[in-house]
Amino acid sequence: MHVHVQGQNGEAKFWLEPAIELAQYAGLSMREINEALRLVQENENDIRSAWCKHFSG
């Protein structure tokens, strides 16, 4: 399970399992990566629910 995050200058991919961690990124600053990580952590339950809903059907 993972989530993609897009910014103005690049993108990142975060694994959600077994724990939230950065998988890869391109074009984003460390400040942007840290902000994206914070948002993924804060919205983990919603992201997981959307993932399951999207891939269940």
Q: For 4-48, how does the pLDDT look when each residue is reduced to its tens digit (9 = 90+)?
A: 999 999 999 999 999 999 999 999 999 999 999 999 999 999 999
CA distance 23 to 21: 6
Domains identified in the chain, total number: 1
- Residue 54 carries which side chain, given as an amino acid letter? H
What was the pLDDT predicted at 57? 65
CA distance 42 to 14: 13
| Residues with Cβ within 8 Å of residue 47, at least 6 apart in sequence | 3, 16, 40
What was the pLDDT predicted at 18? 95
| Residues with Cβ within 8 Å of residue 9, at least 6 apart in sequence | 27, 28, 32
**pTM score:** 0.90
Omega before residue 18 within 30° of 0, cis:
yes
**Structural domain that includes position 22:** 2-55
